[in-house]
Chain A
Amino acid sequence: MSRQQTQRLAVILITAVAVLVFIPVLLVIFYLIASGIGAINWEFLTAMPRNGMKEGGIMPAILGTLILTFGTAIVSMPVSILAAIYLAEYAKDNRLTRTIRMAIVNLAGIPSIVYGLFGLGAFVLAAGFGTSILAGALTLGIMTMPVVISTAEEAINAVPQQFRTVSQSLGATKWQTIRHQVLPHALPGILTGMILGLSRAAGETAPILFTVAAFYVPTLPSSVFDQTMALPYHLYVISTQVPGMPLSIQYGTALVLLMITLTLTLLATGVRTSVRRRRDW
């Protein structure tokens, strides 16, 4: 085989493999939309489940997921952004900094089920919060920290160094400089990371299994110490634990969950590209 033939064959094979990677992604999305769209209507989105969850809607699960996602943001956002500021602006190249970076790498790699165990041991039991929104949000919040910290640090580092020098040459303190000349410009990037983190949190099942998720509760949660239903766990429950569950409800639930996480993912990418286009430095 000549070199040109090898070249041509290689390109064909590489392209074929790429097709093998990307086509299933589209297939999954379209298949899920096609199978689930029929179940989705106003009642499905806004009503309580009825008749052993085999009829009615999935509103408590949707609401629970939104509440948990919001709680995750509250837990994770402040500490993650501050940690990113530490790494980008204050950290010297010393042992503490290296230890922190190592810790973040490891947090990012810890399996979500292990976060679930930690949440159970630390928040549900040791702290005495019980199986509750509080325990679940804390667990999910900690789980999203590495994503948010890494993207926020990158966003902060992308702000040109000269803004800092100029600001300090004008008599601003280090914190004033960060507050007025760094964070505003890093904000879109920080937001992107935050939304990506939340998208992941919204879809996670394992960390909420033992910390907050309820199989079925007839009423909506009224405080952070209540349990709640949540979409990912609900999907798990109705697809494996409830015999005779209509397939359309299963597909519909999966589709709603996918729409929530994909909306967040696309929102994050949207923020990123629109801001990249707009800024003038």
Chain B
Amino acid sequence: MEAKISIQNIYYTYADGNEALRNISFDVQANEVFVLFGPARSGKTTLLRLLNRLSDLTEDADFRGVITFNGSDIFGRAVDVYNLRRRISMVFAIPTPLPGSIRSNLTYGPQMAGIRDKHVLDQRVQHSLQQAALWDEVKDRLDSSAMALSGGQKQRLCLARSLAMEPEVILLDNPTSGLDPLSTSVVEETLRDLRERYTIIMVPHSVQQAARVADRAGFMLDGELIEVAQAEQMFLHPQNKRTEDYITGRFG
């Protein structure tokens, strides 16, 4: 089976000379939850931002290697980067609603893609909120400010905002970092249901969370990918000494 996303020998260096990623290769299969974990500053965010070319916004960085999505190079000349970002959508570490109503947050992506039909937009709003397990809490106040939601609700709104674009892949960069345990488990629950329809690449909040949600996992350290394995093997029998040290809490 063709990989959903294939990363081949990529190197990424920031303008200040920081080699954030070094010779990284791995595949992500359709409909799996792939977890990228590792200590802070190991390059996880940098990698996620490359996958939907949000990295384009960072000036003067140096990239080498190949990333394919459904078999085609995402940096290819004919690629429509805006469409790519709709297909591969990002949820950030801090909840980041756009100022405006809950509804306008959800319709923004589709509207920018040219969807005008109010019926379609309404449907997207409801559907995405339901998938993100937020519908029941906000259905009566869709036109009130998104800024007034709680932290956990905001983060689920951001998830719904990604889902409203009907993407194929969802990138989650530590989506529960600022959330309380209850909100965290609601989000984790939601992810479990989402895997049936989406491919998910996630940076977890902790090794425990990684073990809870992952189908497969990759361990990153200092800009390198140390090990990739099925979740069970990764968290019970890691092959690499450094992976084991990290998982058992000997550093990081």
Contacts and interface: CB of A to CB of B under 8 A. Distances in A.
Is there any pair of Cβ atoms, one from A and one from B, under 8 angstroms apart in the complex? yes
A170 B96 contact: no
Contact of A173 (B57, B82, B94): B82
Interface string B31-71: 00000000000000000000010100101000000000000
A170 B89 contact: yes
A171 B52 CA distance: 10
Contacts of B85: 168-171
Query: How big is the B interface, by class?
Result: 20 to 34
Interface string A148-190: 0000000000000011111111111100100011000100000
B145 A180 contact: no
Given A169-B52, A180-B108, A281-B147, A185 B99 contact: yes
Between A162, A168, A170, A176, the greatest number of chain B beta carbons within 10 A of the residue's beta carbon is seen for A170
Nearest to A173: B82
A169 B112 contact: no
Contacts of B108: 167, 170, 172, 180
A164 B108 CA distance: 13
Interface string A117-128: 000000000000
Contacts of A163: 98-99
B52 A280 contact: no
Interface in B59-109: 59, 82-83, 85-86, 89-90, 92, 94, 96, 98-99, 108-109
A176 B96 contact: no
B165 A166 contact: no
A8 interface: no
A169 B89 contact: yes
A172 B109 CA distance: 7
B161 interface: yes
Contact of A168 (B54, B59, B92): B54
Contact of B98 (A166, A173, A279): A166
B113 interface: yes
13 contacts: A162-B92, A164-B57, A165-B92, A166-B96, A167-B112, A168-B54, A169-B54, A169-B85, A169-B92, A170-B86, A170-B89, A171-B83, A171-B109
Interface of A: 92, 162-173, 176, 180-181, 185, 279-281
Interface of B: 52, 54, 57, 59, 82-83, 85-86, 89-90, 92, 94, 96, 98-99, 108-109, 112-113, 145, 147-148, 161-162, 165
Q: Which 8 A-B pairs have the closest CB atoms?
A: A170-B109, A171-B86, A172-B112, A280-B147, A171-B85, A169-B90, A171-B82, A166-B96
Given A170-B161, A170-B162, A171-B83, 15 more contacts: A162-B92, A162-B94, A162-B96, A163-B99, A165-B57, A165-B96, A166-B98, A167-B112, A169-B52, A169-B85, A170-B85, A171-B82, A171-B109, A176-B112, A280-B145
